A and B are shown apart, each in its own frame.
Chain A
Amino acid sequence: MSATVKVTVDGRTIEVPAGTLITDAAREAEVHVPIFCAHSKLPPLGACRICVVEVGMPKLGPGRLPVTGADGAPEIAWLPKVQTGCTTTVADGMHVRTDSAVAVKARKGVMEFLLVNHPLDCPVCDEGGECQLQDLAFAFGADFSRMADAKRTFVSEDLGPIVKKEANRCIVCMRCVRYCDEMMGDDALTAHQRGVLTEISSFNRQPLECEQCGNCIEVCPVGALTALPYRFKARPWDLRQHITVCPYCPAGCSVRLGVRGMEILRARGTEFRGVNQEYLCVRGRFGYEFVSSPDRLSSPLLRLGGSLAPAGFDEAVTYAAARLRDIAAAHGPQAIAFLGGDKLNLEEQYLFQKLARGVLGTSNVDARTRATARLPGDAILRATGAGRPSLTLDQLSRAGEALVLGDDLQGEAPYVQSLLILGQHQNGLHLTVAHPRRVKLARSKFGGEWLALKPGSELTLVNALTAASLEAGVPAGVPAEVGAALASLASALGSPEAGARETGISADDLRRAAKRLCAADQKAIVFGRAYTEHPQAAALVQAIENLGWASGALTAKRASVMFVGPQHDSQGALDMGLTPDRLPGYVDPADAAARRPFEQQWGAALDLSPGLSAPEILEAAAEGRVKALWIVADEWVKSAPDRARIERALERCELVIVNDLFLTATAKRAHVVFAAASFAEKEGVAVNCERRLQRSARAISPRRGARPDGEIFQAVARGLGATWSYRTPEDVFREIARLTPGYQGLSWAQLLPLGPQWTSPAPLAGPRIAPAIAPAAAEAGDGLWMLSGGTLFLQGSLSYRGAQLPKLAGEARARLHPDQAQRLGIGDGDTVEIAGSGGSVTLAATLDDAVPAGSVFVPYAFRECDLNRLGAPAGAGLRVRVRKTAAALVGA
Chain B
Amino acid sequence: MSATRSLVAALSSDLLQPLRISDATRAEIEKSLTRYPNRRSAVMPVLWALQLEIGWLPPAALRYAASVVELPESEVFGIATFYTMFNLRPVGRHHLQVCMTLSCSLMGADRLFRHLEKKLGIGHGETTPDGRFSLRRVECLAACGGAPCLQVNFDYHENLDEAKVDRLLETLE
Interface residues of A (CB under 8 A from B): 181, 187-194, 202-204, 444-445
Contacts and interface: CB of A to CB of B under 8 A. Distances in A.
B36 interface: no
Contacts of A181: 72
A192 B73 contact: no
Nearest to A202: B74
A190 B74 contact: yes
B118 to A, nearest CB: 20
Contacts of B76: 203
A191 B78 contact: yes
Contact of A194 (B59, B70, B74, B82): B82
A189 B73 CA distance: 10
Contacts of B139: 194
27 contacts: A181-B72, A187-B74, A189-B74, A190-B72, A190-B74, A190-B75, A190-B77, A190-B78, A191-B78, A191-B82, A192-B77, A192-B78, A192-B82, A193-B81, A194-B82, A194-B139, A202-B74, A202-B77, A203-B59, A203-B62, A203-B73, A203-B77, A204-B59, A204-B77, A444-B70, A445-B70, A445-B72
B153 to A, nearest CB: 23
B163 to A, nearest CB: 30
A683 to B, nearest CB: 43
A830 B145 CA distance: 64
Q: Secondary structure of the A side of the interface?
A: mixed
Contacts of B70: 444-445
Interface residues of B, number: 13
Contacts of B82: 191-194
Given A181-B72, A203-B73, A445-B70, 15 more contacts: A187-B74, A187-B75, A189-B74, A190-B74, A190-B77, A190-B78, A192-B77, A192-B78, A192-B81, A202-B74, A203-B77, A204-B59, A204-B62, A204-B77, A444-B70
Most buried by A among B59, B70, B77: B77
Interface string B67-91: 0001011111110011000000000
Nearest to A200: B78
A128 B79 CA distance: 33
Contact of A188 (B62, B74, B81): B74
B156 to A, nearest CB: 22
Interface of B: 59, 62, 70, 72-78, 81-82, 139
Minimum-distance CB pairs A-B, first 10: A187-B72, A190-B78, A190-B74, A192-B81, A203-B73, A203-B74, A203-B77, A204-B59, A194-B82, A193-B81
Contacts of A204: 59, 62, 77
Most buried by B among A181, A188, A190, A204: A204
A41 to B, nearest CB: 19
A202 B72 CA distance: 11
A222 to B, nearest CB: 20
Contacts of A192: 77-78, 81-82
A181 B71 CA distance: 12
Nearest to B63: A203
A189 B74 CA distance: 6
A181 B75 CA distance: 10
A754 to B, nearest CB: 32
A478 B73 CA distance: 48
A192 B139 CA distance: 15
B5 to A, nearest CB: 19
A189 B82 CA distance: 14
Contacts of B78: 190-192
A204 B78 CA distance: 9
Nearest to B81: A192
Most buried by A among B59, B75, B78: B78
Contacts of B62: 203-204
A359 to B, nearest CB: 58
B162 to A, nearest CB: 25
A193 B77 CA distance: 10
Nearest to B76: A203
Contacts of B75: 187, 190
Nearest to A205: B77
A445 B67 CA distance: 11
A849 to B, nearest CB: 14
A203 B59 CA distance: 8
A187 B72 CA distance: 6
